[in-house]
A = this chain, B = another copy of it.
Amino acid sequence: MKPYILGVDVGGTTIKTGIFRSDDLFLLDAREIPTRTENAGAYIISDLTESIHHQLKNMSLKAKDVQGAGIGVPGAVLDDGLVMHCANLDGWGGFYVGRYLEQLLDFPVCISNDANLAALGEYTFGGGKGLVSQFFMTLGTGIGGSYIKKGEILTGSHGAAGEIGHMKICYEEKRTCGCGKKGCLEQYASAKGLVECAKLMLLSDREDSMLRNIPVLTAKDIFDCARARDGLASKCVEGMTRILGYALADVSCLLDPDVIILGGGVSKAGDILFEPLRRYFREAAFPVCEETKINPAILGNRAGIYGGAVIVRKGE
| Residue A284, interface by CB 8 Å | yes
| Residue A157, interface by CB 8 Å | yes
Chain B residue nearest to A242 (CB atoms) is B171
B250 touches A158 (CB 8 A): no
Q: Quick one: which of A286-300 are within 8 Å of B by CB? A: 286-289, 292
Q: How far is the CA of A285 from the CA of B177 in the complex (A)?
A: 12
Q: What residues on B are CB-neighbors of A258 within 8 Å?
A: 157
Binding stretch for chain B, among A15-23, A29-37, A54-62, A160-168: A160-168
Question: What's the tally of chain A residues with a CB closer than 8 Å to chain B?
Answer: 44
| Residue A67, interface by CB 8 Å | no
B160 touches A252 (CB 8 A): yes
B254 touches A181 (CB 8 A): no
Q: Is the interface of A mostly helix, strand, loop or mixed?
A: loop
B255 touches A181 (CB 8 A): no
User: Would you give the 0/1 interface string for A116-150, flagging 1 where the beta carbon is closer than 8 Å to chain B?
Assistant: 00000000000000001100000000000101010
Q: What residues on B are CB-neighbors of A159 within 8 Å?
A: 256, 288
Contact for A289 among B133, B145, B160, B183, CB less than 8 A: B160
Q: How far is the CA of A250 from the CA of B171 in the complex (A)?
A: 13
B160 touches A286 (CB 8 A): yes
Chain B residue nearest to A135 (CB atoms) is B254
Q: What residues on B are CB-neighbors of A284 within 8 Å?
A: 168, 181, 183
Q: How far is the CA of A249 from the CA of B167 in the complex (A)?
A: 7
| Residue A25, interface by CB 8 Å | no
| Residue A78, interface by CB 8 Å | no
Footprint of B on A, CB under 8 Å? 132-133, 145, 147, 149, 154-164, 166-168, 171, 179-181, 183, 242, 246, 249-258, 283-289, 292
**What are 10 of the A-B contact pairs (CB < 8 Å)?**
A158-B289, A159-B288, A160-B252, A167-B254, A168-B246, A171-B246, A181-B286, A181-B287, A183-B284, A254-B254
